[in-house]
């Protein structure tokens, strides 16, 4: 699929006008690339689209040009899903991330095809899909472990039991890396949801095809609707909407554009957003995965509890 003309069919124009030639091969069903909000696949509310092309400028698909309203709808969906997702047992989140990897493994061929359409060589595409699957598995394993690495029991001097644990920051908006259609997206989503956050992801503007296909994978992987929301569109339009939205707790930006960074940090101050910038990360290497990426969108909560200290006086009330 991809090119808008049907393969194996041919048309010829005679002097008398349109005249069908004899090829009767099956006409391929083209896929409509929609966006993914709250577990549904709506079209952009704005009704706008843009044309995704390959490097030669050939048309690959009409893709939703998401609007501010789509961002808002996605934030509402992500916020509603947050309570449930953050309260899931860490083990359960791990199983669900693993399930995403299973589903992705099963649809490998489709992703390889889409990557090839988007100018990735076949072998490179295979590699990218494999790393994406392995990365999901890697983060699946982290779901119930990062708390043990980053949590502490604090030996306070008073008569209290005191401990600190990481907790999800809430709704995270993320701008996926531009140079990769699948792996960048997966590398950004996985640590956010492994840590119990819900998210809105803006897919690569120039390479958007895999993002919506990946949404189908998410949709069939027991990930509750609203935990991952995927939009396609322009960084220049939507980054600023992410930063200004008062119900977004953090924005992750993968890119080097200083104007975008400045805009995110300026507008993000409206509700003291956590702005996480990933510059020059090679997502294909081991540098592209880290439990510290999970920590980026976590808060540390410290709890104090008195210890009754009979005999030596002074309970910790």
Among 149, 256, 282, 287, binds other proteins (CB under 8 A): 149
* Span 265-284, contacts to other proteins by CB under 8 A: 265-266, 268-272, 274
d(C-alpha 119, C-alpha 283), whole Å = 18
| Residue 11 in the binding site for other proteins (CB under 8 A) | no
| Residue 17 in the binding site for other proteins (CB under 8 A) | no
In sign, the C-alpha dihedral spanning 131, 92, 209, 82 is negative
| Residue 179 in the binding site for other proteins (CB under 8 A) | no
| Residue 197 in the binding site for other proteins (CB under 8 A) | no
Minimum CB–partner distance for residue 305 and other proteins (Å): 5
Number of residues in contact with other proteins under rule CB under 8 A: 38
What are the C-alpha distances in Å from 60 to residues 2, 55, 74, 255? Answer: 5, 10, 26, 24
Minimum CB–partner distance for residue 191 and other proteins (Å): 15
| Residue 310 in the binding site for other proteins (CB under 8 A) | no
Structure-block tokens of residue 245: 């939205």
Which of these segments, 2-10, 61-69, 129-137, 304-312, binds other proteins (CB under 8 A)?
304-312
| Residue 144 in the binding site for other proteins (CB under 8 A) | no
DSSP 8-state class, residue 223: P
* 172 in Cβ contact with 297 (< 8 Å): yes
d(C-alpha 120, C-alpha 125), whole Å = 6
Among 47, 57, 155, 311, binds other proteins (CB under 8 A): 155
Half-sphere exposure of 174 (CA within 13 A, CB side): 35
Rounded to the nearest 5°, which phi and psi values hold at 62?
-90, 125
Beta carbons within 10 angstroms of residue 41's beta carbon: 15
| Residue 158 in the binding site for other proteins (CB under 8 A) | yes
| Residue 305 in the binding site for other proteins (CB under 8 A) | yes
d(C-alpha 60, C-alpha 63), whole Å = 9
Q: Can you list the alpha helix ranges (DSSP code H) found in the chain? A: 68-87, 90-106, 108-117, 122-142, 146-150, 183-194, 209-219, 235-244, 258-268, 291-296
C-beta closer to other proteins: residue 44 or 289? 289
Minimum CB–partner distance for residue 277 and other proteins (Å): 8
Cross-strand pairs, 50: 63
C-beta closer to other proteins: residue 11 or 304? 304
Among 262, 282, 287, 309, binds other proteins (CB under 8 A): 262
**Residues 223-252: x/- map of binding to other proteins (CB under 8 A)?**
--------------------------x---
Minimum CB–partner distance for residue 238 and other proteins (Å): 18
Structure-block tokens of residue 240: 């600023």
Minimum CB–partner distance for residue 308 and other proteins (Å): 10
Residues in the site for other proteins, rule: CB under 8 A?
A: 149, 152, 154-158, 160, 162, 164, 169-170, 249, 258-259, 261-266, 268-272, 274, 292, 299-306, 316-317
């Amino acid at each position: 699929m991809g090119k808008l003309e049907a393969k194996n069919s041919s048309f010829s124009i005679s002097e008398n006008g349109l005249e069908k030639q004899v090829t009767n091969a099956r006409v391929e069903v083209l896929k409509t690339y929609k966006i993914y909000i709250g577990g549904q696949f709506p079209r952009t509310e704005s009704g706008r689209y843009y044309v995704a092309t390959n490097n030669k400028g050939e048309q690959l698909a009409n893709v939703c040009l998401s609007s501010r309203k789509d961002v808002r709808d996605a934030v509402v969906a992500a916020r509603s899903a947050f309570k449930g997702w953050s309260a899931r047992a860490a083990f359960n989140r791990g199983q669900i991330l693993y399930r995403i990897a299973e589903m992705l493994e099963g649809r490998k061929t489709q992703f390889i095809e889409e990557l090839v359409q988007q100018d990735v060589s076949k072998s490179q595409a295979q590699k990218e899909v494999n790393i994406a699957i392995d990365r999901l598995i890697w983060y699946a394993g982290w779901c119930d472990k990062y708390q043990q690495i980053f949590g502490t029991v604090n030996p306070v001097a008073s008569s209290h039991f005191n401990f600190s644990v990481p907790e999800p920051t809430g709704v995270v908006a993320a701008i996926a890396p531009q140079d990769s259609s699948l792996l960048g997206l997966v590398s950004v989503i996985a640590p956010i949801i492994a840590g119990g956050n819900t998210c809105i992801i803006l897919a690569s503007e120039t390479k958007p095809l895999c993002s919506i296909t990946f949404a189908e994978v998410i949709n069939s992987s027991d990930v509750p609707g609203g935990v991952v929301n995927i939009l396609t569109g322009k960084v220049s339009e939507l980054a600023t909407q992410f930063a200004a939205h008062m119900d977004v707790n953090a924005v992750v930006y993968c890119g080097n554009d200083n104007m975008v960074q400045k805009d995110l940090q300026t507008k993000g101050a409206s509700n003291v957003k956590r702005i996480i910038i990933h510059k020059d990360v090679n997502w294909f290497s081991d540098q592209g995965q880290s439990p510290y990426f999970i920590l980026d969108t976590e808060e540390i909560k410290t709890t104090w509890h008195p210890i009754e200290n009979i005999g030596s006086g002074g309970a910790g009330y």
